[in-house]
């Protein structure tokens, strides 16, 4: 049995691999980013002069690099009288004059380094004049400062007092292929390779052999690994570990492959064009004709290539709920979507505006820290804190929410089981406290971005939560009739459209219990943390200063709380082996319902005894917050 390759666009991949449009092939990305800091804080800086220059070391892999963009964080609020920046690139002098438009909207200045100026191995970038060079504190190993005009150099002696350990916020985007990247297939079901939803016969699988169509120019290579198991998603207890091989002997029903693409020459990349599995399978179909599938719900389980760290049940989560009586806040909601809107409205009302001039302290993203700061006048709150407060409060109540960043605005996205999708849930001030709607459907950040790009920004509406007597932002008129008894529709103001020129997500929502990795004071001084995952239209990104960028939509918008079932014949007549897989954060257990009976806990594998009639099995996933996801159902008739 030959199984054609899965489209590469469905495969998981790191940011060093790009897939051709339509998933027709995979290769190493055309650029890569070198950096020594994560951009935690940008509140420290120093002025560089010829007598005290600053040096940053970058190590490049082998081969011939093309042009490169040198990036350094400045975040000038306006365009003051800035003197030229002077730097030496491996001894060659560059002079740079500041132009605000070159910053785009991220606060990073940039200068193109011509091809041929950089080399494999050790490269030195020396700033001899710079009005502002930002410092990210921490253990520094690649940033140096001289006190004798460049004769000798000292690490961890940065800053105006020459006593700061850390790295200069300087990054390098190189035109050339990274040294290696990884692409991983989805799990492949040898009994149902087309994913049709069927009862699988008993299988005897002798071997599975992988063949590939690929190109490997000199200095490049592709290495394959494979693993297999008995469950439809990886479980260590019933899967083999990865092995460097193209053949598996006596594998389980479910198989996965991954490929490491590598190069020793930046100007060359291997190309993986197709992967095929040839399985030696003997199927025992006796008794299969005694069953007929009446219906089989098979929701798509989209998964991200990137790990997300979720807030789990914790004493601080219980404290947030109890201290601020969040159960009462959402109690009047008629469904989960409306309960999230009630929570959003509560977050919106906890403080007014930034008032940074009055309260200069910027709180962390911890919701309890935020509420303490704004309620006791220790600090201010901004869109970032409204978003972090909502995400922390919603997560403590068991909802699935995360912080999203769109250029100079921060807002939450929440998963709605009712709508089976991620949607914006913005509690911020002015014309915020709203959801966004297009063609009668609530939408997420990427859908807003695409609508604006397609000239449909005017078709987007805000559904704003306000009493009918309250005023809206100046120049925005509420339509004559409310949308429902708690919301009004207002136009999506054109001044908001450019804000969606980029969008990304923080890869964790556990700020309530974990301080790091931290986005210190983010939103106050741009979003320079290098741990956000950003959407990009291609692998040569418009915003080159960020390491984590993806063109794979499921990396940002995976499915939540869904369950799928597989079924297979057993030796016992009338008994099927059923296995489950899920996408539930903080997964606690499965629950099954047989023939409309009560829900009962179940393991990931169970035997299902069928009667000589119509048999119904429903299954759902339940989180550690005791919230059940959407169920799925299989109906089989035994003839």
User: In this predicted model, what pLDDT tens digit does every residue of 581-621 receive, in sequence order?
Assistant: 999 999 999 999 999 999 999 999 999 999 888 999 999 99
Residue 459 per-residue DSSP state: G
Averaged pLDDT of the chain:
91
Q: What is the DSSP letter of 158?
A: B
* pLDDT value at residue 77: 61
Nearest to 132 by CA among 176, 67, 186, 81: 81
Which residue pairs from 233-237 have beta carbons closer than 8 angstroms and sit at least 24 positions apart in sequence?
A: 233/187, 233/581, 233/582, 234/187, 235/604
How far are the Cα atoms of 379, 382, 604 from residue 360, in angstroms, in the given order? 6, 12, 52
Q: Do domains 31-175 and 563-638 have the same CATH topology?
A: no
| List of residues 6+ apart from 286 with CB closer than 8 A | 201
Phi and psi torsions of 226, nearest 5°: -140, 155
Compute how many other C-beta atoms are within 10 angstroms of the C-beta atom of residue 163. Answer: 9
Q: Answer whether CATH 2.60.120 is correct for domain 2-23+179-285.
A: yes
* Alpha helix ranges (H) inside 416-540: 445-453
Helix (H, G, I), strand (E, B) or coil at 117: coil
- By C-alpha distance, which of 226, 192, 484 is closest to 337? 484
Name the superfamily (CATH) of residues 563-638. Answer: Immunoglobulins (2.60.40.10)
C-alpha closest to that of 503 among 436, 407, 427, 411: 407
**Burial class for 358, CB neighbours closer than 10 Å (0-12, 13-18, 19+):** exposed
**What are 410-427's pLDDT values in tens digits?**
999 999 999 999 999 999
In 3D space, the residue among 173, 179, 221 whose CA is nearest the CA of residue 16 turns out to be: 179
> What single DSSP character describes residue 185?
P
| pLDDT of res. 387 | 95
Separate counts of helices (H) and strands (E) for the chain: 6, 43
For residues 231 and 564, give the distance between their C-alpha atoms in angstroms, rounded to a whole number. 12
Give the relative orientation of helices 336-348 and 383-396 as an angle to the nearest 10 degrees.
140
Burial class (CB within 10 angstroms; exposed 0-12, middle 13-18, buried 19+) of 361: exposed
Q: Pairing between strand 563-569 and 199-200?
A: parallel
Asked if residues 385 and 361 have their Cβ atoms less than 8 Å apart, the reply is: no
CATH topology classification for 31-175: Jelly Rolls (2.60.120)
pLDDT in the model for residue 481:
37
| Structure-block tokens of residue 194 | 């087309």
Cα separation, 623 vs 275, in Å, equals 36
- Gap between the Cα atoms of 244 and 210, Å rounded: 12
pLDDT score of 42: 66
Residues of the chain with pLDDT under 70: 5-6, 22-23, 42, 77-80, 429-432, 466-486, 520, 525
Query: What pLDDT shows up at residue 523?
Result: 72
Give every strand in the sheet of 614-623, ordered side by side: 291-296, 632-638, 614-623, 587-594, 600-602
CA distance 307 to 144: 34
Would you kindly state where each structural domain of the chain is located, as residue ranges? 2-23+179-285, 31-175, 315-512, 563-638
The burial of 133, by beta-carbon neighbours within 10 Å (0-12 exposed, 13-18 middle, 19 or more buried), is given as buried
Residues 6+ apart with CB under 8 A from 383: 409, 410, 411, 428, 429, 432, 523
Rounded distance, CA 423 to CA 403, Å?
12
Contact 592, 606 (CB under 8 A): yes
- Tokens at residue 350, please? 């906890």
Model pLDDT, residue 234: 95
H-only helix segments in 324-466? 326-330, 336-348, 367-375, 383-396, 445-453
424 CB-near residues (< 8 Å, 6+ apart): 404, 411, 412, 413, 435, 436, 442, 443, 444, 445, 448
Interatomic CA distance for residues 595 and 209, integer angstroms: 41
């Amino acid at each position: 049995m030959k199984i054609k390759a899965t489209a590469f666009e469905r495969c998981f991949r790191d940011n060093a691999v790009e897939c051709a449009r339509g998933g027709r092939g995979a290769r190493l990305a055309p650029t890569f980013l070198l950096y020594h800091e994560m951009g935690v804080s940008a509140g420290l800086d120093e002025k560089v002069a010829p007598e005290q220059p600053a040096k940053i070391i970058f190590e490049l892999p082998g081969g011939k690099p093309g042009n490169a963009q040198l990036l350094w964080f400045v975040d000038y609020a306006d365009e003051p009288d800035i003197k030229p920046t002077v730097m030496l690139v491996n001894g060659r002098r560059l002079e740079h004059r500041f132009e605000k438009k070159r910053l785009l909207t991220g606060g990073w200045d940039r200068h193109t380094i011509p091809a041929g100026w950089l080399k494999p191995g050790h490269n030195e970038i020396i700033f001899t004049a710079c009005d502002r060079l930002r410092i990210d504190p921490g253990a520094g190993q690649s940033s140096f400062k001289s006190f004798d005009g460049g004769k000798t150099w000292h690490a961890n002696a940065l800053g105006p007092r020459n006593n700061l350990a850390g790295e200069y916020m300087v990054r390098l985007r190189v035109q050339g292929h990274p040294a290696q990247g990884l692409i991983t297939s989805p799990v492949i079901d040898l009994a149902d390779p087309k994913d049709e939803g069927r009862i699988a016969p008993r299988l005897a699988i002798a071997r599975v052999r992988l063949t590939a169509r690929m190109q490997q120019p000199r200095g490049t290579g592709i290495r394959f690994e494979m693993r297999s198991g008995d469950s439809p998603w990886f479980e260590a207890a019933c899967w083999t570990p990865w092995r460097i091989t193209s053949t598996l002997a006596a594998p389980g029903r479910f198989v996965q492959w991954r490929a490491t693409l590598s190069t020793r020459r930046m100007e060359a990349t291997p190309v993986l064009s197709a992967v095929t599995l040839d399985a030696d399978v003997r199927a025992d179909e006796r008794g299969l004709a005694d069953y007929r599938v009446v219906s089989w719900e098979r929701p798509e389980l989209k998964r991200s290539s990137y790990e997300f760290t979720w807030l789990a049940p914790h004493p601080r989560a219980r404290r947030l709920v109890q201290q601020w009586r969040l159960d009462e806040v959402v109690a009047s909601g008629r469904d989960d979507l409306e309960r999230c809107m009630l929570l959003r409205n509560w977050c919106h009302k906890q403080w007014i505006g930034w008032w940074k001039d009055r309260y200069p302290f910027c709180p962390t993203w911890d919701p309890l820290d935020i509420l303490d700061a704004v309620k006791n006048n220790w600090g201010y709150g901004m869109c970032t804190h409204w978003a972090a407060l909502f995400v922390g409060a919603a997560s403590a109540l068991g909802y699935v929410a995360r912080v999203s960043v769109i250029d100079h605005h921060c807002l939450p996205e929440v998963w709605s089981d009712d709508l089976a999708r991620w949607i914006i849930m913005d509690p911020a001030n002015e014309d915020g406290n709203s959801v966004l709607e297009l063609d009668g459907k609530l939408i997420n950040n990427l859908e807003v971005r695409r609508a604006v790009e397609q000239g449909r920004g005017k078709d987007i509406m805000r559904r704003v939560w306000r009493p009918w007597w309250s005023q809206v932002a100046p120049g925005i008129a509420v339509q004559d009739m409310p949308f429902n008894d708690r919301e009004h529709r207002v136009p999506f103001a054109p001044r908001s459209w450019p804000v969606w020129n980029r969008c990304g997500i923080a890869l964790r929502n556990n700020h309530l219990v974990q301080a790091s990795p931290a986005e210190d004071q983010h939103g106050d001084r741009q979003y320079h943390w290098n741990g956000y995952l950003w959407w990009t239209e291609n692998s040569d990104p418009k915003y080159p200063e960020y390491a984590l960028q993806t063109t794979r939509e499921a990396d940002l918008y995976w499915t939540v709380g869904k369950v799928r079932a597989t079924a297979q014949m057993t030796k016992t007549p009338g008994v099927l082996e059923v296995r489950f897989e899920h996408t539930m954060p903080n997964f606690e257990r499965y629950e099954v319902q047989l023939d409309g009976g009560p829900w009962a806990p179940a393991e990931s594998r169970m035997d299902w005894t069928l009667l000589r009639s119509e048999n119904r099995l429903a299954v759902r996933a339940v989180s550690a917050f005791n919230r059940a996801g959407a169920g799925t159902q299989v109906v089989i008739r035994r003839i």
